[in-house]
Structure 1
C-alpha cells in the first residue's frame, strides 16, 4: 500500500554512531530506495537521522522531514514531488537531491542557508530563483529542465554548475560567480563562448551539442589560466579545417579536448603550425628556398661559393625597428667603400618617408615577392609585422662579382633565416639600451602607430635575451642610444675584422 512501517525502516537503517547531541548511540543513515513508498510519515519519529536515501519511490509529501532536525543529506530523486523543501528546514541540511521529479518552479530557500549541494535535474523548472541567501551553495545542478536563460545566481560561491540540456542561448548571468571551477552547458542552443572570459578559476567546460560555429570563439577562453578540460563535441566548428590543432594552440593549457587526452606531440605540432619559434620558421623558409632553387635551371653563383680558405664575407647589422641600423649600414658602406657595398632587401611594405627604391629596399608587390620565392630567387626571407622581406641571391652575387663584401641589415627573423644557409656573415647586434629614449625617438619620427611602437620597444628585451642566452649568436653588440658613438664603435670593430 506504499505506507512505510517500522519493519521496513529497520531493514534500511545503518551506520551506528553517536547522536548529534552526543548523548547516545543511534542509527544515523536510512536507505529505502525502490520500495514503492508513498507515505513516509513514520519517519517523524526518527529524529537522529543524518542521511536519508529515498530515491525511486512514489513520494509526494516530505512534511515529516520537519521532525528530523539533524538531517545533513537528503536524496528524494525519482519520486512524484511537485514542490520541494515544503518542510521546516533542518538547521544543518547540506546536500539535497530532488532530481527526476515533477517540480515546476523553484521556491525561496532563504531558510536553508547551510545548503552546499542542490540537485534539481529532470524537472520542469523554467527559471532559477530563490537562492539569494544560500551563501554556502557550491554545487548546483539543473540539467534537463526548461531554462531559457541563466539568472538568479548573483554572488553565490558556486564551484560546480550544471545547466545542461535546457534551452539556453547565451552565456550570461555568470559574471559574479568568481569561484566557478566546473561548468556544464552541453545540449543547449549556445552560439558563442562570450561570457566565460572572466572566470579565472574554471578548470572544466562542457559545451557539447550546441551551435558554436566559429573558430574565433576560442578568443573568449584562451586566457583562462586553469582551464584543462574542454568539450565541444557536436558543434559546427568541429567541421572546420584544422579545428583540432587550432583549438589546442588557442587554449594551450588544455590537457583534454573533446574527451581525448592531448599529447605533448600535438601541442608541439599546434605551436609549430600557428606560432612556430623563429628558428622553425627560418628552417622551413630555407627548405622552401632550396627546393624552389633546385627546380630552376641550374646557375652557379661562383662569386659567393664558399672557398677552402674562407667563406664569402658578409656583414649583417640587426636590431629592433628604427634603431639606427639603416643609417649605420649606409655610413659603413661609405666609409669602407673599398670593402663593402650595401645589399638592399626586397620588401612588400611601402616606403617610409625618406626611403628610396633600390637605395634602401626593392619595394615590390606581394605577387612579385611570391613569384621570386617560387623561382628560388631568395637566399633568405622573413616576415616582420605584416610584411615580407627577402635577401636576393642576385643582389649578393652582383656585389661579390665586383670583389666586394655585402653589407645589409635585417630583423632577427632574417638572421635566423640566413643562419640556415652556407654563408657565414659577421652579425652585429645594434640595440638601444635606453628604452625610454628609444620610444621617444620612434614617436618623433611620426612613421609608426602606437601598437607598432609598443611592439618595437618590447622587442628590445627579446634581442638582449637572445644575446645573453646564446653566447656567440652575435659577433658583437653595439649600444645605439647615441648614433655617433655607435658608429665610432662599429667602425673600430670593422677595422679589426678587416685587419686595418
Structure 2
C-alpha cells in the first residue's frame, strides 16, 4: 500500500508541466495546437476556456469554449474558481481551475491558450507552465489573416489589431515568455514548438508506458 502511494507521489512530482500558448488572434496558435493534438494523441489535453461571448459558426460548447452567461462567470471568478480571467471587447474570458485539473488528472500536458493578461495572472500562481508566445511575422500579415477570416466587423478588427500591437510590445519584456516563435512558416513554427515541448512529451510517454 505504501509503495503504491509512494509511486503515485513520485509520478505526480515527475509529471509534465502545463504549457501556456499566447499570442494575438491570427498568429496561428489554434492551428499549431491542432497539429500537436493530431500528432501526439493521448499526450496533450486542451484546457477549455470559458467565455461570455456567443459561439461563432461551427464552434461547439465545451469543446471550443464553455459558453456561459456573464452572471455565472462573474460569480465563479468571485469565488476564486478561475486561474485567470480577462475582458475583451466587452466579453469575459478565463481559465477555470477545474478545466486544468481535469487534464492533469489524466497525466496529460495541459495546454492553456490565453492572452497576455492571462499570462501575467498565471505567473502569480504555482502552476509552473512553459510560457510560449506565438507571433506573426508583422502586423501587416496579421491584419491580412484577420481580414481573410471574414468573421470580424471593422470595429472589432481594429480592436484586435490594437490589442495585438500591445501584446507584442509586452511580450518583449524580460521574463514574460520562455520562448517566442514567429509563425512566418507553419512547418518551421511547428518544428520549433515541438522542440520546446519534447521533454514534457517524453514524460507523458514514459508515464503511459509504466502505467
Deviation at 1:310, TM superposition (A): 6.2
Equivalent in the alignment of 2:184: 481
Look up the SS of the partner of 2:113 in the other structure. strand
Deviation at 1:339, TM superposition (A): 2.5
Q: 1:344–1:315: structure 2 CA closer, same or farther, 3 Å change rule?
A: same
Are the equivalent residues in 1 in contact too, given 2:133–2:181 (CA < 8 A)? yes
Are the equivalent residues in 1 in contact too, given 2:16–2:201 (CA < 8 A)? no
Find the aligned partners of 2:76 and 2:52 in 1 and give their Cα distance. Answer: 12
Find the aligned partners of 2:67 and 2:12 in 1 and give their Cα distance. Answer: 36
TM-score, normalised with respect to structure 2: 0.81
Equivalent in the alignment of 2:139: 435
**Bigger Rg, which one:** 1
Unpaired segments of 5 or more residues in structure 2? 1-8, 204-211
- What per-residue deviation string (whole Å, max 9, x for no partner) do you get for residues 395-440 of structure 1? 1111111111211201111111111111111111011122212211
Q: 1:308–1:363: structure 2 CA closer, same or farther, 3 Å change rule?
A: closer
* Pair 1:389 & 2:113 matched: no
Look up the SS of the partner of 2:45 in the other structure. strand
Equivalent in the alignment of 2:29: 325
TM-score, normalised with respect to structure 1: 0.36
1:490 to 177, 193, 202: 193
Q: How does 1:79-90 map to 2 (within 5 A)?
A: none
Find the aligned partners of 1:345 and 1:488 in 2 and give their Cα distance. Answer: 26
User: Which structure ranks higher in relative contact order (CA pairs < 8 Å, sequence separation ≥ 6)?
Assistant: 2
Find the aligned partners of 1:330 and 1:351 in 2 and give their Cα distance. Answer: 19
Higher helix share: 2
Deviation at 1:333, TM superposition (A): 2.6
Are the equivalent residues in 1 in contact too, given 2:37–2:44 (CA < 8 A)? yes
Unpaired segments of 5 or more residues in structure 1? 1-304
Find the aligned partners of 1:308 and 1:402 in 2 and give their Cα distance. Answer: 11
The alignment covers a number of residue pairs equal to 194
Look up the SS of the partner of 2:171 in the other structure. helix
What is the CA RMSD across the aligned residues, in angstroms?
A: 2.5
Find the aligned partners of 2:94 and 2:164 in 1 and give their Cα distance. Answer: 22
Q: How does 1:418-429 map to 2 (within 5 A)?
A: 418-429=122-133
Look up the SS of the partner of 2:133 in the other structure. strand
